[in-house]
Amino acid sequence: MTLKDRWRAIAGLVEAPGGVGLLICLHVVTVGFSLRTVTTFSSHYFSAAAFHIFYDPARLPVAAAVVAAFAFIGMIFVIARFSFGYMVGFYLYSMILGYLWLNCFSDLNYDHSLAGWSAAFSAAAFLVPATLIVSPVDRAYELPVRMFEHLLTLILLLSLATIITGAIYNFRIVTIENIYRYRDELAFPAGLRYAIGVTTTTLLPFAFACFVARRNIWRAAAALVLSLLFYPVTLTKFAIFTPVWLVFIAYLARYFGSRTAVIFSLLLPMLAGLLTSIFAVLPTLFYTVNFRMMIVPSNAFDIYNDYFSRHELTYFCQIGFLKPFVSCAYSEPLSIVMNRAYELGYLNASLFATEGVASVGPLLAPIAAFACGLVLAFGNRLSADLPPSFVLISSAILPQVLLNVPLSTTLLTHGAAVLFLLWYVTPRAMFERPSAP
């Protein structure tokens, strides 16, 4: 047996239900230790108390019991097959897991019992359609392969044009530590903001996935370079994060099954961040991955529960095209409202906080979560007969966005709806043709 055959055998065992179940248990433990560590790891990077993140040893048994009970919902990832909703669902499941821990220690004044039950039922209501509805749709049209290849070239040219246009309004090469000095001064036209969001989140990752599937390494590298070139234009860490994350996901997809790759995409960075924090080797890794990527979205859910327990609900008026038709108590985006109330920055939050708690309150939040799960199920059906590794790579950025952004904003501003359409018209024969040299 060759080394490659042995590796495939090991990867197959890990992808089996027992292997996936063990990985999920390890992930739950890693999330728990990260949440325990964050209060003792406050430094000049962040203050846990400022975010209302606390820990009380006397309440540890309660928190452990809550997390252990909610962990059983994660068994849905053992029985479900890979899909777009599987990937997004695992990230949002981890976020709710973190919230349920924080909820046991939070000093914010709202009904924590009601909010905890609402979060758990919302997660279950979301995951059922998002992970289990995966049957393909009957497609009436797909692009010819040659036309599709021209479309990929057009995506690269459109991305370059967006970068050049954005550079007219702003182009600064500054260190990451200094981006906040200039970012508030950025003022892009609305059309350009949409173009940047759709290009960076959807179009370039989709093109990169296509080039990887075709083994067109040079064009794949071009997509990564274009993603990186958005940094001096937008001054966001996201522009640096995107190419690194796409390469990371591509390697996971190459060496592991798709379900295993999804779990490893969170587990491995969090485990590395936790270990480096314990041994005080690289504290920035814990801050970037464990705190900023996972704990902050969980904390945002805590803050949204607190705010909307005392203020009027939005009834979905935060969705731009609904605002003229719905009576709204808020004239500003919710991120600005939260910054004014808590002074923690412009705090956006996931669909559970915005389409759920902020829009309809904790009692009806599971219904809103179920509706959001149906939207992701639609994406599952449009991509069901595509190679899982291709779906995994092409949608790699969206779960990160959905941890911090409402679903409605992700569909429109970040181009998730465009990705659904691209999946629908992608020629399946493209994956059967000989690889490009």
Residue 8 maps to a domain:
yes
The whole-angstrom separation of Cα 368 and Cα 382 is 22
Residue 208, token pair as written in the block? 């990169």
**Residue 198, both tokens:** 């759709």
Q: What is the length of the chain?
A: 437
Q: Quick one: pLDDT at residue 45?
A: 65
Name the one residue in this structure whose structure tokens are 């049957």: 135
Nearest to 358 by CA among 342, 337, 343, 377: 337
Residue 235 domain flag: no
Q: Which domain holds residue 108?
A: 3-139+261-381
pLDDT, residue 6, reads 61
Q: Please indicate, yes or no, if residue 154 is contained in any of the structural domains.
A: no
Q: How far apart are the first and last CA of the chain?
A: 29
Q: How many domains does the chain have?
A: 1
Residue 392 domain-assigned? no
- The DSSP string of 23-59 is HHHHHHHHHHHHHHHHTT--SSS--TGGGT----GGG
> Which residues are CB-neighbours of 81 under 8 A, at least 6 positions away?
134, 259
For 277-400, list the strands marked E by DSSP. Answer: none
Positive or negative torsion for Cα 308, 312, 313, 319: negative
| Residues 24, 80 contacting (CB under 8 angstroms) | no
Nearest CA among 391, 426, 408, 409 for reference residue 85 = 391
Looking up tokens 């981890």, which residue turns up?
94
- Token representation of residue 257: 């099954």
- Quote the longest CA-to-CA distance of the chain: 68
CA 49 and chain centroid, separation: 25
Please indicate, yes or no, if residue 14 is contained in any of the structural domains.
Answer: yes
CA distance 404 to 293: 9
Q: Which amino acid is at 212?
A: V
Angle at 87 between CA 393 and CA 39, to 5 degrees: 110
How does pLDDT run across 198-251, given as a tens digit for each residue?
A: 999 999 999 999 999 999 999 999 999 999 999 999 988 889 999 999 999 999
In a domain, 276, yes or no: yes
CB 70 within 8 A of CB 100: yes
Position 348, amino acid: N
Radius of gyration of the chain measured on its C-alpha atoms = 21
| Residue 96 · residue 273 · CB < 8 Å | no
Residue 430 lies in a domain: no
Q: Give per-residue pLDDT as tens, 5-24.
A: 565 666 666 677 788 999 99
Rounded (10°) angle between helices 145-169 and 217-229: 20
Residues of the chain falling short of pLDDT 70:
1-14, 42-46, 280-282, 433-437
Asked whether the beta carbons of 313 and 358 are under 8 A apart, the reply is: yes
Token pair recorded at residue 189? 């036209």
The whole-number pLDDT of residue 347 equals 85
274: in domain: yes
15, 255 Cβ separation under 8 angstroms: no
